[in-house]
Amino acid sequence: MKPKNILIFVGKYLINNNYMQDTVQNNDEISSLGEFGLIRHLTRNIKIKNTSTLAGVGDDAAILDYGEKVILVTTDLLTEGIHFNLIYTPLKHLGYKAAVVSFADIFAMNGIPRQLLLSLAVSKKYKISMLEALYEGLLLACDKYGVDLAGGDTSSSLTGMTLSVTALGESERNKTVLRKGAKKNDLICVTGDLGAAYLGLQVLERERRLYHDHPDLQPDLSNYSYLLKRQLKPEARADIIRLFREADFVPTSMIDVSDGLASDLLHICNASGAGCKIYADKIPIHPATIEAAGEFNIEPLIAALNGGEDYELLFTISPGNYDKIKTQPEIAVIGHITDKDEKPLLITPNNTSIELKAQGWNATEN
């Protein structure tokens, strides 16, 4: 009897001569697990073998022990049609954003990014000038944050573009911050404002649809400059890391807000074995976000909780360090960590308690 496909043939003759094939199980769709469930599933059997690996899967960056300082390594994958749409994303902006997204992961560990590696796969539709624009954005971000573009790889692709960005950084051994350090009564803090990037995406998607139906229409986006900048050209919070050093304190836990405040706060709670309470009226939302949310009939708070791509820093501090951040206009205290037996809660202005759910952006659903 002939094998049903080449994969079965390879399995039969190359895997110890045993007749093997990849099996498809019931409920085998990636969507059945979700993005974070998929990560947990694929990494559940990983066991650290080297003493130089201080932390691996489960934080914003891996931590490697190579002397007086630790090395931080993080990688991000960006795929055309999933993470970016070139109908409204200039390649220069894409290059800049791809770099900043990786820098944000290093800052989320209380580290400083030092090197960047880019692996790039592109199809024939891309021209040299287009890739030059992409690299122009990468180099602009590297120059701004003092990072070296130190290497990478290129390959062809059958469809579209894929970028794999790896950032390396450093941190002092006793000042590296993980997600798992939050303790009961710690204050929950967030930088900047939330939800603007999501509303910027809504504006761009609306204009894409209008352009599809009316290609001669010239959009006026002048009223959305703040939102579009937050979506297309975000910044990582190097200033906050400098503030921590100047104030001489270390957060107890930290993460960057890439998947939405709710999802990322739950990452901290789950890693720390804790609950939390955050207060809706304490969550910082820019006036431009509130105005645009009204246009799209979106509750601004929902955009802040679930929108993602803000790349602000979400962190916890011991109550004794409150005086060191209370006068900082770029830091808002939005709640506190509770006992592990308490559910993560959102407290509304009328004092109603709502269980916090992870409903942020999910790569497996796009």
CA-CA-CA-CA torsion sign (51, 53, 56, 60): positive
Residues 227 and 299 in one domain: yes
Q: What percent of the chain has pLDDT over 70?
A: 80
Domain assignment of residue 23, yes or no: no
Q: Which of 114, 142, 175 is the last residue of a domain?
A: 175
So what's the pLDDT on residue 266? 97
Tally Cβ neighbours within 10 Å of residue 266: 19
Domain of residue 205, residue span: 187-365
Confirm whether 31 is domain-assigned.
Answer: no
24 occurs within a structural domain: no
65 vs 349, more confident: 349
pLDDT at residue 36 in the model: 56
Task: Give me the mean pLDDT over the 77-106 stretch.
Answer: 93
CA distance linking residue 342 with residue 346, whole number of Å: 12
Stretch among 9-13, 289-293, 297-301, 322-326 having the lowest mean pLDDT: 9-13
Computed over every residue of the chain, the mean pLDDT equals 85
- Yes or no: say if 282 and 333 are a contact pair by the CB < 8 Å rule: yes
- Looking at the structure, tell me whether residues 67 and 122 fall in a common domain: yes
In this predicted structure, what is the pLDDT of residue 62? 67
pLDDT of residue 3: 46
| 157 pLDDT more than 50 | yes
Express each pLDDT in 32-54 by its tens digit: 666 556 556 655 655 655 555 66
What whole-number distance in Å separates Cα of residue 45 and Cα of residue 57? 11
Q: Assess whether pLDDT exceeds 80 at residue 308.
A: yes
Domain boundary among 153, 175, 197: 175
Task: State the pLDDT at residue 42.
Answer: 55
Please report which confidence band the pLDDT of residue 66 belongs to, taking 50, 70 and 90 as the band edges.
low
On the question of pLDDT at 181 being above 70, the answer is yes
Q: Are 179 and 268 in contact (CB under 8 A)?
A: yes
Candidates 134, 119, 122, 120; CA nearest to 158 is 122
C-alpha 351/C-alpha 182 separation (Å) is 24
**Residues in CB range of 56: below 8 A, 6 or more apart:** 46, 48, 62
CATH of the domain at 80: 3.30.1330.10
> Can you tell me the mean pLDDT for 341-352?
96
165 and 242, same domain (yes or no): no
- Determine the pLDDT at residue 219: 77
Q: Is the pLDDT of residue 365 over 70?
A: no
Q: Is the pLDDT of residue 111 over 90?
A: yes
Domain count, the chain: 2
pLDDT of residue 24: 47
User: Model confidence over 117-137: pLDDT tens digits?
Assistant: 888 888 889 888 888 999 899
On whether both 83 and 191 belong to a single domain, the answer is no
